[in-house]
Amino acid sequence: MRKVVPEKWGSSVKFVLQRELHELFIYNYVQPEQGIYQLTKTGLEKLEYGQEKYKDMYLYANEGFYSLHEKQVIRTDTEDIYQGVLMKNGDYYFITTKDFSHPQKESEEGKAYLNKVSKKKLPSFLDSLKSKE
């Protein structure tokens, strides 16, 4: 195993840190229906959806939000959003070529915008992404 480069393992299983909770999870990004697993001191535990402590908590990985409360994946791989990060305070920052403050305005070539969605507004932002699918 030492000589095998991790990128060449061919595994669709990924680790992701949920920064707000300071918890580590793994999931299969090709088959997310297999569920999300939490890494604990004693091993792996499959995430039980519906727990109140996970309401409005997400994993952000592979251009998607994975809800820890509901069995749901919301994709962000649109032409408008091409890079993002979920911060430890729950705010979501992303880079886009579209000016979200002036949505009707044509995009300017070579221009990028940094956008912030606060934790409080994240659920409604994700709902707007779901409606575009």
At 10-22, the pLDDT tens digits run 678 889 999 999 9
Strands of 58-61's sheet in order across: 58-61, 64-67, 73-75
pTM score:
0.81
- Which residues of the chain are modeled with pLDDT < 50? 1
CB 40 within 8 A of CB 33: no
Place of tokens 């991790």: 6
Q: Beta strand 92-96 with 81-86: parallel, antiparallel or unpaired?
A: antiparallel
Distance, CA of 9 to CA of 73 (rounded, Å): 25
Q: How many CB atoms lie within 10 A of CB 94?
A: 20
